[in-house]
Amino acid sequence: MPHDHPDDPFHHEGISPSGHPYRKDDDTPLSYWQCMEIAVRELLIEKGVTTPAEVAAQIEAMDARSPANGAAVVARAWVDPAFKARLLADASAASREMGFDIGTLRLIAVENTPQVHNVIVCTLCSCYPRNLLGLPPDWYKSRAYRSRVVKEPRKVLAEFGVTLPEDTTIRVHDSTSEMRYIVLPMRPPGTEGMSEAELAALVTRDSMIGTGLPRRPA
């Protein structure tokens, strides 16, 4: 495979409206791998495997998935004990019950308590509950996170600004095969009177991976 192509694939150029850098895109020189993507896509269309509309629809479906979906599931579990029980028993079914299309994803929800804090990783590749939370952040796919969080989770969490009591057990879940995981974080104190929608706004993406905690109410 051509490792020696001259294009540097990793330029960050500019900042997007969401505050994240763009990678080079439409108006920058065509890279070897972009050329391959176009060629593979066109061959698949010519061979009748897929259609332009199907590719566009798949991108739209993926764009529509975001951590807000997971946050809605978490907030429901905080206010509805019966739903929480169903979520912990079968997170795929509970997410579908809320109307989220999670396909064939086999989802396990793991509950944080004062005694246990859960963290999700995939050391073998980059498995992530993408059908519920959208595509994973870059750091989740990084060598540093995948290498270190199974060995020194407390140091890694500290880098994310999370420090847990020594007597809280950390459970690291390595998504090695068929299951995907979502953390059910603890409901923050001082949220007793809040609505489900207000609670969902406190649930961050990282709190569902285990590298963060929910926001505290303002």
- Of residues 54-93, those binding another protein (CB under 8 A): 54-55, 58-59, 62-63
- Is-catalytic flag, 126? yes
What's the CA gap between 97 and 106, in Å, rounded? 14
Among 76, 84, 146, 187, binds another protein (CB under 8 A): 146
Among 69, 175, 204, 207, binds another protein (CB under 8 A): 175
Sign of the CA dihedral with 119 first, then 121, 123, and 124 last: positive
- Is-catalytic flag, 18? no
Largest CA distance in the chain: 60
User: Helix, strand or coil for residue 52?
Assistant: helix
- Residue 174 CB coordination number (10 Å): 16
**How far apart, in Å, do the first and last CA atoms of the chain sit?**
53
Give ∠ CA 54-59-61 in degrees, rounded to 5.
90
* Given 92, 127, 175, 207, the catalytic residue: 127
Interface with another protein in residues 6-25 (CB under 8 A): 9-10, 12, 16, 18, 20-25
What's the CA gap between 181 and 105, in Å, rounded? 10
Interface with another protein in residues 114-143 (CB under 8 A): 123-126, 135, 137-139, 141-143
- Is-catalytic flag, 35? no
Among 64, 101, 169, 197, binds another protein (CB under 8 A): 169
* Given 125, 142, 147, 195, the catalytic residue: 125
Given the complex with another protein, which of 80 and 138 has the nearer CB atom? Answer: 138
Which residues participate in catalysis according to the annotation?
122, 125-127
